Amino acid sequence: MIRLYWKNATDKAISAEHGITGSDLAVVEPRVQHALRSVLERAARGEPSYVELPVNAVFRQQVREMVEKFRDNTTDMVVLGIGGSALGNIALQQALNPTTYNLLSDRKRGGPRLFVLDNVDPAMVDDVLKLLGRRLNTTLFNVISKSGETAETASQFMIVREMLRKRLGDGFADRIVATTDTEKGTLHDIASADGYAMLPVPAGVGGRFSVLSPVGLFSAAMCGIDIDALLAGAAAMKKRVETDDWQVNPAAVLAAIKYIAYAVKGKPIHVMMPYSNRLYALADWYRQLWAESLGKKTDRDGQEVFAGPTPVKALGATDQHSQVQLYREGPNDKLLVFLEVESHPVRRRVPEVFEDVPGLSYLRKQDLGKLLNAEKRATEYALAASDRPSVTIRFNNITPQTVGEFIYLYEFTTSLTGEMLNIDAYDQPAVELGKKATFALMGRTGYEETAAEIKPFARTDKKYLV
């Protein structure tokens, strides 16, 4: 189970200027209650659609059947996707499988090696495809795109499809699974024509909210992660956050803290800092969820608000030596969200050596998990001593259940925060111009006008080239 501890964001730990006071909570309470009622009313109607994913038995069964079809004949799996079609896959794999998973033998892994091509960096794509060259006939490619026209994923898919077709002949389609719209779209039509196995991208679920759907569940299940436990954890959190008593609702309390920090206390930067390498990719997943959902120019009334706390990631204890100097003595414009693990997945003790070396003897026989957690508490204390607020999300351990809880907690918190900011947390209009500009620069038909607009901007002005 995960729990939220927030005393160190209040005036009980730091000053009233930077910490949340009883008066702050009283002022914001009507806004929190309104947001919670609004989100709960929509959730009761299954809106937005992500709220039903933890209890969707159909998707779970579809994933199981697909795993049954491919698990025994697959040594390697490659996910082709970007943004929400990739970050959740990476986060689940990093959190719930060993760091050395891909380095283990086929027998010891018990599932395929997993590679997620979440960018079009040519060196990365080429390195992975060369590595897999001799095992193409046992490599499964999962291309994830609702429309099939996302330039990054489409270009990867075109490369892979042609490579498979040349190497495997008529059987190439047997090594591709398309996760896409079930009724229409470019990828849907190609998949139908070529004969790929298909999984659904759920209607009404934005990519950043899709990890608990086949988008994220398929690669997880293929690699031996217990998706039933993952979804059970999400369902347990769903039940916890559906209480209308906001003061015992972890999502509502977290949304209230984040809103006050952002809108009242001048903290526009929200840093997520896991004290666990396994949870680090969850901070990447959070950054997209938070930034794309809450970064909006206008509110629902059409007023310009330029809303959105900026999400940043850090890793404890690594970034105590690279970022905490700034966090303690730089601008007091940050809220820290620590992820703490009470019982780490393994125990590793320091040997009983150097008993006569004063600067090292205290570490003898100590457990590294204890040291890591001490580092977290020390940083938490140091921040409070510098009048910097923080909250902690405590994992009793890292399991599919607790990871599922965390994912749903942050999705629901994002919905609540969107309501409190009076913005639409489910669209992403600012992303579209960049997509259109990419189409124009790459010569796509129909984007000639955009290409003409870009041309002066894209031309290098030598005056500014040094």
Residues 164-214 have pLDDT tens digits of 999 999 899 999 999 999 999 999 999 999 999 999 999 999 999 999 999
Task: Confirm if 391 and 335 have CB atoms less than 8 A apart.
Answer: yes
One of 3.90.226.10, 3.40.50.10490, 1.10.10.10, 3.90.1150.10 is the CATH number of 57-201, namely 3.40.50.10490
Known catalytic residue at 321: yes
At 103 the three-state DSSP class reads helix
Q: Which of 146, 267, 270, 292 is catalytic?
A: 292
Give the active site residue among 435, 449, 453, 455: 435
Tens-digit pLDDT profile for residues 242-276: 999 999 999 999 999 999 999 999 999 999 999 99
Q: What is the pLDDT of residue 451?
A: 86
- Give the start-to-end residue ranges of the domains of the chain: 2-42+230-421, 57-201, 432-464
> Do the two domains 2-42+230-421 and 57-201 of this chain adopt the same fold?
yes
Give the CA distances from residue 295 to residues 145, 207, 255, 285, 338, in Å, rounded to whole numbers and listed in that order: 23, 16, 15, 15, 22
Residues of the chain with pLDDT under 70: none
Confidence (pLDDT) at 77: 98
Considering the segment(s) 2-42+230-421 as one domain, its CATH architecture is 3-Layer(aba) Sandwich (3.40)
Among candidate residues 321, 352, 355, 462, the one labeled active-site is: 321
CA angle (369 as vertex; 367, 374 as ends), nearest 5: 100
* The model scores a pTM over 0.75: yes
pLDDT of residue 89: 98
CB atoms within 10 A of CB 37: 13
Residue 440's pLDDT is 85
What pLDDT is recorded for position 37?
97
CA-CA distance, 123 to 113, in Å (whole number)? Answer: 19
